[in-house]
A and B are shown apart, each in its own frame.
Chain A
C-alpha cells in the first residue's frame, strides 16, 4: 500500500489532469491523493476487523470441530446450529446484536462476523478431520499414540488442507461482509462505498472503496494460499 502514501507526482502516467476533467469520473487519482489518510485508515480498520473476526472464529471453530469429531452424536447439532446461524441474514444478525452490545461499537460487527465465519470453518475442519484414513488412525494407535497425541501429531496436520480451505473461504467472505457494518458506521471500506453514494453519488469514492475491498480479499486469499502451500508440502505432490 506504499503507493497510496506516496503522493502521486504530476508526471504519474495514469494521473488525471489536475481537475479530473468534467463530470463524475469512475476513478480519480486526485481523490485518492487528497484522501490518502482516510482511505488508509478505512483499509486498516477493515483489515483489522477481518483479522480479528477470522482469528477468533478459528480459535472457536477448531475445538468445536474436534469435539464433533470425538463425539459423533454432537456432529449433527453443532452443524445444524451453525447452519441456522448462517441462514440468518447479516443485517438481521447485526440488528439483533447491535442494540444489546452497543450501536456504535465495532464489537457488534465483530460478533456477527465471527458467527458467520464459524460455520465455514467448523464444516471444513470437520470434513478435514473425518477424511483422515482409518488405516492412518489405526497405525497411530498401534504406535502408542493416545487420543490427544494422535489428534495433535497426526489428525490435525492431516486435516490442515481442509482447515486452510475453510480459512480462505471464511476470510474472503468476511472481507465482503465487513461492509455491512456500515449500518452502524463501522463498515471500514463499506463506509467509503456508502459515503460516496450518499455524497451525491461520488463515483470515485465508491469505486476506490470497492476496488480496495475486492483487492484486500484477493490479496488475503493469495497470502493464505501461499501459507497453505508452505505448511502442507505433501499436498503439493498429491495434487499434481
Chain B
C-alpha cells in the first residue's frame, strides 16, 4: 500500500499535471488518439457490418476476423506500422488501435441487423419498401442498441490500448508510466508508475460508464433489460 500512497502524493502535485508532458498534456494526446482511432474504426466497421448484415452473409468471416485479431499482439502492430509508409508519429498508432476497434464494431453491427425478426423484414417488404428504404427506415433504427454496444466495447478497448502507445513513444497516458520506470524505483519512480496506472484505469472505467449511459439512452425503453448485452469477442486491452 506504500506505493499507492506515493502514487497519490504524485497525483497531488499540481506541477505533475500542468508541466509540459504532464498529465493534462498526455490526457489530451490520449483522448485525441483514441477519438481518431474510434472514428476510423467506425468508418470501416459499421458500413461493412451493416452491409453484410443487410445481405445476410459473411457471418462466419466476421467471427474468423474477430478471433484472428485476438491473436495479434497490439505491441506488434504498434512497432510494425511505423516502419511502413505510414511513417512515425500519430498515424501508425491510430491505425494500430483502429485495427482492434473494428472487430467489435463489425460484429455488433452485423448481429444488430441479423437479430431483427424476419417477420418484421417481410412486413416491410410487403408494404413495398425497397432495399434502401428497408435498411434506413426499419433495420437501422432497430439495430441502434447493438451499434451502441459495439461502440462502447470498441471505445473502451481503444482507450485502454492507447496506453500501450508509450512503448513506441506514441504519446498518451502510458508515457507517464514509462517515464516512471525511466526515473527508476529507487528514485521514487514507483509513485509515478502507480499514479499513471491509476489515471489510465480510471479513464477506462469512466469511458465505460459514460458509454454505458449513452447506450442506455439510445436503447428504446421497451428493449431495455429485455435481453443481455450482446457478447462480442472483445479482446482484453492488450
Where the two chains meet, the residues of A that have a C-beta atom closer than 8 Å to any C-beta of B are 84, 86-96, 98-100, 103, 116, 120, 123, 169, 172-173, 175-177, 179-180, 182-184, 187, 189-190, 193-194, 196-197, 201, 203, 206-207, 209-210, 213-214, 217-218, 221
Residue from the list A93, A173, A179 in contact with B70, Cβ < 8 A: A173
* Contact between chains at A197 and B79 (CB < 8 Å): yes
* Contact between chains at A179 and B71 (CB < 8 Å): no
* Contact between chains at B180 and A209 (CB < 8 Å): no
* Contact between chains at A91 and B71 (CB < 8 Å): no
Residue from the list B160, B168, B199 in contact with A197, Cβ < 8 A: B168
A111 to chain B, nearest CB (A): 13
* Contact between chains at A91 and B73 (CB < 8 Å): no
Question: How many residues of B sit at the interface, in one of the four size bands?
Answer: 35 or more
* Contact between chains at B197 and A179 (CB < 8 Å): no
* Contact between chains at B80 and A207 (CB < 8 Å): yes
Within 8 A of A (CB), among B158-181: 159-161, 163-164, 166-168, 174, 177-178, 180-181
Q: Please tell me if B38 contacts chain A, counting CB pairs below 8 Å.
A: no
* Contact between chains at B194 and A88 (CB < 8 Å): no
B228 to chain A, nearest CB (A): 10
10 closest cross-chain pairs (CB), A and B: A95-B197, A89-B160, A217-B71, A177-B238, A92-B200, A210-B76, A179-B73, A96-B197, A99-B190, A92-B201
Q: In the complex, what residues of A have CB within 8 A of residue B134's CB? A: none
Residue from the list B70, B76, B164, B168 in contact with A91, Cβ < 8 A: B164
Question: Which of A184, A196, A197 has the most chain B CB within a 10 Å cutoff?
Answer: A197
Q: Known: A169-B70, A190-B73. Contact between A92 and B236, CB under 8 A?
A: no
